[in-house]
Amino acid sequence: MAEVAIRPFTSPDLTQLSTVIIGYVTQEKYVVEKRESEAETAVTLKLVTLPAPKTYRYDHLDQAEMDRLAGIVVEGFSFSAFVGAQLVGVALASPEQWNRSLRVWEFHVADEWRGQGIGRRLMDKVVETAVSHQLRVIVCETQSRNVPAIRAYRRLGFVLDAVDLSFYSNEDVAKDDVAVFMKRKL
């Protein structure tokens, strides 16, 4: 296996982001339901198998998003994984001081490099940095249909801690695209 270097993410690394932030394939999704009455409110997530694998591609890396990410990178909580000059993994994060949390905005490992511990090494660096800044929790947001990400976060010590039924739009539940927040308390 080639040597993988984990290092602080720098602004020049932004030029390679589109090589690792590409999307995912899933064979499952969580169906989200909400039941509400005066006496009780319940939100459930039920794992179901899809009739066929579904591919989702990310296309959000326009100039405005790249500018936003550039602002996050300079805060010093972001890390990259490189093999030689090739970016193979990324963890872009920024602190929210008001509640002592660290928000991970982007966490990706290139498809061909998954399953080799790169994501764990990146997240270990994120955790180490959060602890050194006396933050109390790390927050990662993903979608109810991104079961591979939910499983990866769980393997990294995160738990599903919050669900937002209208984070992306007013039709998130109907679109099977509900925001879930995975958290790891420090």
Which amino acid, one-letter code, is at 100? R
Global confidence as pTM: 0.94
Residue with tokens 């420090």: 186
> In the prediction, which pLDDT does 100 show?
98
Q: State the pLDDT at residue 65.
A: 94
At 141, list the tokens.
């947001």
- Return the exposure string of 10-19: e unless at least 16 CB atoms fall within 10 Å of the residue's CB, then b: eeebbebbee
Q: Is 151 helix (H, G, I), strand (E, B) or coil?
A: helix
Of 129, 140, 105, the C-alpha closest to 7 is 129
CA end-to-end span of the chain, whole Å? 32
Considering only CA atoms, which of 29, 33, 25 is closest in space to residue 47? Answer: 29
Q: Helix, strand, or coil here: 56?
A: strand
**Residue stretches of the chain with pLDDT short of 50:** none
User: Going from the N-terminus, what domains does the chain have, and what CATH number goes with each?
Assistant: 5-26+56-185 (3.40.630.30)
33-53 per-position pLDDT tens digit: 999 999 999 999 999 999 999
Report the alpha-carbon distance of residue 17 to residue 26 in Å, rounded: 22
Give kind and range of the element (H or E) at residue 53: strand 41-57
Could you read off the pLDDT of 73-88 as tens digits, one per residue?
A: 999 999 999 999 999 9
